[in-house]
Amino acid sequence: MPLALFALAIGAFAIGTTEFLTNGLLSQLSTDLGVTIPQAGLVTTAYAVGQMCGPILAFILLKLPTKRVLIILMAIFSIGNLMAALSPGFEFLLASRFATAWSHTAFFGVASVAASKLVTKKKQASAIALVFTGLTVAMLLGMPLGALIGQAWGWRSAFLIVTLISVISLVGIMVLVPQDRDVITLSHRESLKPFKNIRLWIALSATAIGFGGLFASFTYIEPLLTEVSGFDNTDVIWLLGIYGAGLVVGNSVAGKAADRALVPTTVTLLIILTLALFALAFSASNPIIVIPLLFILGASGFGLLTPLQTFVLRFASSASPLIGTANTAALGAGITIGSLLGGIVLTASSSYQAINLAAAAMTILGLIVYGIAVSLSKQSSTTQSKDFMQ
């Protein structure tokens, strides 16, 4: 495989690590910046809101060569993380998280295109998979390592390490990714045509609400583990590792299952996620039960990513390169809504268990919206209906 693919994979690792970095550092952020835990949770919300803006950046850069876009995106990402590390106050940290996330949504879509151009057609899937391996490794190792670094040297050091990794990726892209003078011929107006389809928006809503329930819970997982379950701060590192292992297993298994039965796989995962959230709400004080629940939450929640993405792409025309970024933005919307919901519930009830009840309710709503989206697919042409139900 070309070395340029590894530069892209390193970038994917940095982005995946940054997205979830603060979930293991909320207590440190709260203490150091003089804010409450619910307020500290807004650093997750700010990043998710920035993700939602990603398609705007992708739209602006639509006509530029792929390599130039990758350089711009990784430069924005690197500067944003450096800003976070040097934040003089909480508001500045929120702004830096928001700015950093703009590049997140666009990067994976553009990196996939770049990867496919680096190899022959027969190896394109493997090349794209290699890039996304960086994200998978971030899910498994990035969160616990971020928590470990933060506990050892402070939360700012964790952001500095991510900045260094992203700069390595940036240099690798500049040196290793070949010049690409191809420009997308699709006009900006034509790229927006698929968004006139109301079924696409309902599918995107199912993504946002269904996945958002997970983040109502996950945003506040660190204080729940220490204050309710009774784990030490050092235990959070390996507990996040268990959660990350669930992410990897769930993503792998769900992807294969969705190839065979897309809708049943998605419905099953939403039901499992709902039950796991309910179980965590009532069993959070029992550390023996919490450990396997973390794995199940990671597996079922992040297992939804591939089925939901596939579902959205089947609703939309393949003519627009913005559809993939739109679904990533929908994930960001879900994280925004979920983290805000968790903060509101925590402020009102002072109960981490109550957050998980609210999260379960949100996931149930996501299941209902997904059912509506599937129902609408049955009202389309017979061929399209059969394709959806496979």
Supply the pLDDT for residue 282. 95
Is 52 or 242 the better-scoring residue by pLDDT?
242
Q: Is the pLDDT of residue 377 over 80?
A: no
pTM of the predicted model as reported, rounded to 2 decimal places: 0.76
Supply the pLDDT for residue 320. 55
Is 199 or 1 the better-scoring residue by pLDDT?
199
The answer for 154, left when phi > 0, alpha when psi is -120 to 50, beta otherwise, is left
Supply the pLDDT for residue 382. 46
Least confident of 4-18, 172-186, 275-289: 172-186
The domains of the chain, with CATH numbers, are 1-178 (1.20.1250.20), 186-390 (1.20.1250.20)
Supply the pLDDT for residue 384. 47
Query: If pLDDT is split at 50, 70 and 90, which confidence band does 89 have?
Result: very high
Query: If pLDDT is split at 50, 70 and 90, which confidence band does 150 have?
Result: confident
CB 12 within 8 A of CB 131: yes
Supply the pLDDT for residue 386. 47
**Average pLDDT value for the chain:** 85
Q: State the DSSP code for 178.
A: P
Q: How far apart are CA 107 and CA 112, in angstroms?
A: 8
Query: If pLDDT is split at 50, 70 and 90, which confidence band does 219 have?
Result: confident
Q: Is the pLDDT of residue 161 over 70?
A: yes
The answer for 10, left when phi > 0, alpha when psi is -120 to 50, beta otherwise, is alpha
Which tens digit of pLDDT belongs to each residue from 245-255?
898 888 778 87
Q: What is the mean pLDDT of residues 193-202?
A: 80
Angle between helices 155-176 and 143-153 (to 10 degrees): 130
Query: If pLDDT is split at 50, 70 and 90, which confidence band does 389 have?
Result: very low
Q: What is the mean pLDDT of residues 174-195?
A: 73
Q: State the DSSP code for 226.
A: I
Q: Is the pLDDT of residue 182 over 80?
A: no
Is 377 or 261 the better-scoring residue by pLDDT?
261
Biggest CA pair distance of the chain: 59
Which tens digit of pLDDT belongs to each residue from 91-137?
999 999 999 999 988 887 788 778 877 877 667 656 766 777 787 78
Q: What is the mean pLDDT of residues 44-56?
A: 86
